[in-house]
Structure 1
């Protein structure tokens, strides 16, 4: 199984940063994506970044890249898109906080299973997981990166870039390691449960 990692946005994406400018989503998620890929490869898992460019790549191109790899692997790939959440426009500190995972409205059973594996991993690590309702670990939205890819696909929102405490945590070594391990351990759990 090949694991495709999509880091959200690019250096030319407007906004997408903490109110104090210390956390820039494109830069942060790019770093985390790299750490996740290394973590998976160290466990013998084939992992690849689908956006090697520093600039933002259109969602249609990202989806096309993932779909091409999925076909090349004979339908043996999954996609994880890594982001940081925001409750507002980025100009003010707000109170929304925590970690969450999303699938598309047309999500497959495997996409939902992948989302659950990451959500359960986060809970096991004592991370506050935002849920749309009790007992449902994933949110459903019309997200192009998940909707228009043919492989199982999820999008993670790793805490809030407009919550002061979340930003401090995200920028800490402990926070970076935690965000990385949620992804690595959750993906490994999914792969174990879905061995072919």
Structure 2
């Protein structure tokens, strides 16, 4: 199985963050999280882990500039017909705590992949909330996100903690230890998907 890794939003070029918004508040010590930088850190960590496991992957948006959603989808869909999984990595905002995993609407192959991500999050962070919609017995939340509804393969979008929650942002999203743990549960979920050929 080929893993298509998508780091949401843009990165930082010459000290300038490339995506309007998509950042934490500036904390009292002057620190601030730029979501696109966090997303790239996690995706780059995953690429190293998958390389060691000899699991093939493609970086969908390796550039620091903010690649359009249409371009991301078009790049992913080049692999249509090949067993693959699209994984888009994000940090959340809007008030809250914990982890969410999204798939397109309806019952699809993506649901099984999302279930792996939800279970591995709970295993890594049993004390943190898994923000799941359990009405259908699955851990995913169905949304009409562009990259989920237009990719031609199973696709999940992970929202990893809340960058406007100071405790989660500073302790998990901005620390190397916290980021490594986020890479850990993504890696385990991906391995389960590969082994189960979701």
Normalised by the size of structure 1, how large is the TM-score? 0.89
**Which blocks of at least 5 consecutive residues in structure 1 are unaligned?**
88-93
Quote the Cα distance in structure 2 between the aligned partners of 1:78 and 1:106: 17
Quote the Cα distance in structure 2 between the aligned partners of 1:153 and 1:13: 23
Q: Give the conservation status (yes or no) of the 8 Å contact 2:99–2:129.
A: yes
Q: Residue 153 of structure 1 aligns with which residue?
A: 155
Q: Residue 129 of structure 1 aligns with which residue?
A: 130
Q: Residue 196 of structure 2 aligns with which residue?
A: 193
Question: How far off is 1:136 after superposition?
Answer: 3.0
Quote the Cα distance in structure 1 between the aligned partners of 2:107 and 2:112: 10
2:131 counterpart SS class: coil
1:76-155 to 2 correspondence within 5 Å?
A: 76-87=83-94, 94=95, 96-106=96-106, 108=108, 110-125=109-124, 126=126, 127-133=128-134, 135-155=137-157
Q: Give the conservation status (yes or no) of the 8 Å contact 2:101–2:140.
A: yes
Question: What count of residue pairs does the alignment treat as equivalent?
Answer: 184
Question: How far off is 1:123 after superposition?
Answer: 1.0
**Offset from partner CA, 1:150-193 (integer Å, 9 cap, x none):** 01100000100100011012112221011101111001011111
Quote the Cα distance in structure 1 between the aligned partners of 2:107 and 2:65: 28
2:134 counterpart SS class: coil
Q: Give the conservation status (yes or no) of the 8 Å contact 1:106–1:147.
A: no
* 2:39 counterpart of 1:29: yes
**Which blocks of at least 5 consecutive residues in structure 2 are unaligned?**
12-17
**Offset from partner CA, 1:40-96 (integer Å, 9 cap, x none):** 11111011211011111111110010001x23xx42211000000011xxxxxx4x1
Quote the Cα distance in structure 2 between the aligned partners of 1:30 and 1:40: 15
* 2:43 counterpart of 1:42: no
Question: How far off is 1:106 after superposition?
Answer: 4.7
Q: Give the conservation status (yes or no) of the 8 Å contact 2:39–2:91.
A: yes
Deviates more, 1:15-24 or 1:127-136: 127-136
Quote the Cα distance in structure 2 between the aligned partners of 1:178 and 1:130: 18
Normalised by the size of structure 2, how large is the TM-score? 0.88
* 2:22 counterpart of 1:16: yes
